[in-house]
Amino acid sequence: MRPSRLSIRPNESTRYPQLELAPQVRKEKLLQLLLDWLRELSYRQPLLFVIEDLHWVDPSTLEFLELLVNQGLNDRILTLFTFRPEFETPWGSKAHQTNLALNRLTRKQVQELMETRAGRAFPTAVVDQIVERTDGVPLFVEEFTKLLTESNERSASDSSVSTMETLRKIPASLQDMLMSRLDRIEADLDVIQLGAALGRTFSLALAQEASTLPEEQLNFELQKLVEAELLFTQGRGARLRYSFKHALIQDAAYGTLVKDRRQQLHQDIAQAIDGTFPEVREKEPEVLARHYTEAGNDEKALTYWNNAGERSLQRYAYREAIEHIRSALSALSKLPDSRENKFRAIDLHISLGVPLQSLEGYSALSVEENYATA
């Protein structure tokens, strides 16, 4: 729910006149409108509103969610947030809020999950190994169980030989498990690495542009990953998109990349977007900026972080603007200390002052330090 994603420029619509409002008032009205829309839906029937992986939320969405939590006490909306333990919600504890910590699975729960997934029992020694190596993480338990099932080992036997053979088949980590799964389906490692670099969700069209494989071969390799339940699909034809089953699977695949290969992949992806997807370049410059940053192309990263900052400022998404401009300053710090780059730094600090003043006030220390640096 980032304002920049609406892609409506000022005065672009002839149906509704431009509202002459202060930027902060305009943003407040937008957030309130979205909240009223949810409330209207809940008046018709009770509403379940789910936000997963809140730890990756963007600032504007988080601001809206805080508004929903603070004002939604009497609404018929059951809101469910999932997030990692290290994430802290900005709204703190509320009387109408319940926090539920999902702990790691116990040994008994691991055994039950394994037996449910495999449809059979496993020797005690095998279950103990899975408990030790997965640390009770449900995704890991599922993936390791699937690997054992696919291995066609006679795990249900009480034979010590069979048990030892099965134990030797259990990988030491999720990354080892992933590599073993890829070996079993004879998958091309480069394809899942490309997907991991593209992101948790990526389009077939972009994968085809960024890949060096022929289109037919790439599609065949992606289908292998879908059949192995490492990727899921959504949409059809030109709108076909792939999603990793879990962020940890993406992380494991990304972790197999050495630095040079990782940078080259991000460079190829950025160039594919830059040359073939002008709508992403214009409407989501932060996507290009991230890939150029990971590619180590600091000059290009600076350009697109700056574009993303300006776009966020135009749409009064001040928290995003601060993030983007600071990323631009970070990229600039890696470039030569030239006269031209000093002036670029001045311009960036001046741009940064606008959202800082709006969010933190003219007298804030961060505002003073920013202009002092300029």
Let me know if the fold of 186-256 is the same as that of 258-263+275-374: no
Digit-coded pLDDT (tens) for 234-278: 988 878 999 998 888 899 999 999 999 999 999 999 999 999 999
Does residue 303 carry a pLDDT above 70? yes
318-330 b/e with 16+ CB inside 10 Å = b? bbbbbbbbebbbe
Helix (H) or strand (E) holding 48: strand 47-51
Average pLDDT over the chain reads: 87
Residues 6 or more apart whose Cβ sits within 8 Å of residue 1 = 34, 60, 61, 64
H helices, E strands: number in the chain: 18, 5
What is the number of other CB atoms lying within 10 angstroms of the CB of residue 286? 23
In terms of C-beta density within 10 A (0-12 exposed, 13-18 middle, 19 or more buried), how is residue 160 classed? exposed
Task: Identify whether the C-beta of residue 321 lies closer than 8 Å to the C-beta of residue 312.
Answer: yes
Digit-coded pLDDT (tens) for 48-71: 999 988 988 888 899 899 999 988
- The mean-pLDDT minimum among 125-129, 171-175, 297-301 falls in 171-175
Question: What is the mean predicted confidence (pLDDT) over 295-309?
Answer: 96
Using pLDDT thresholds of 50, 70 and 90, give the confidence band for residue 159. Answer: very low
Does residue 164 carry a pLDDT above 80? no
Helix (H) or strand (E) holding 53: none
DSSP string, 181-241: HHHHTT--HHHHHHHHHH-SEEEHHHHHHH-SS-HHHHHHHHHHHHHTTSEEEES-GGG-E
| 231-234, strands of its sheet edge to edge | 201-203, 241-244, 231-234
Does residue 364 carry a pLDDT above 50? yes
Task: Domain ranges for the chain, please list them.
Answer: 3-81, 107-170, 186-256, 258-263+275-374
- The pLDDT, as a whole number, for residue 286 is 96
Question: What is the mean predicted confidence (pLDDT) over 69-90?
Answer: 89
In angstroms, the Cα distances linking 126 to 157, 169, 173, 197, 333 are 11, 10, 15, 34, 52
Q: Which CATH number fits domain 258-263+275-374: 1.25.40, 3.30.1330, 1.20.1530, 1.10.132?
A: 1.25.40
- The mean-pLDDT minimum among 111-125, 126-140, 150-164, 208-222 falls in 150-164
Q: Which amino acid is at 221?
A: E
In terms of C-beta density within 10 A (0-12 exposed, 13-18 middle, 19 or more buried), how is residue 129 classed? buried
Six-digit token pair at 212?
């060096």
- The pLDDT, as a whole number, for residue 181 is 82
What percentage of the chain has pLDDT greater than the value 90?
56
Tell me the Ramachandran region of residue 45: left when phi exceeds 0, alpha when psi lies from -120 to 50, beta otherwise: beta
Q: Strand 231-234 and strand 47-51: pairing? A: unpaired
SS3 content of the chain, % helix, strand, coil (to 5): 65, 5, 30
Residue 48 bridge partners (DSSP): 78
- The pLDDT, as a whole number, for residue 136 is 86
- Which one, of 326, 313, 270, 315, lies nearest residue 294 by Cα? 270
DSSP string, 228-294: TTSEEEES-GGG-EEEES-HHHHHHHHTT--HHHHHHHHHHHHHHHHHH-HHHHHH-HHHHHHHHHH
Highest-scoring range by mean pLDDT, 118-122, 173-177, 282-286: 282-286
Does residue 19 carry a pLDDT above 90? no
Distance CA 260, CA 258 (A): 6
pTM of the predicted protein model:
0.77
Query: For 119, which DSSP code?
Result: T
Report the CATH fold assignment for 186-256: Arc Repressor Mutant, subunit A (1.10.10)
Using pLDDT thresholds of 50, 70 and 90, give the confidence band for residue 118. Answer: confident
Distance CA 72, CA 43 (A): 13
Task: Identify whether the C-beta of residue 91 lies closer than 8 Å to the C-beta of residue 67.
Answer: no
Query: To which residue do tokens 């939604």 refer?
Result: 72
Query: For 114, which DSSP code?
Result: H
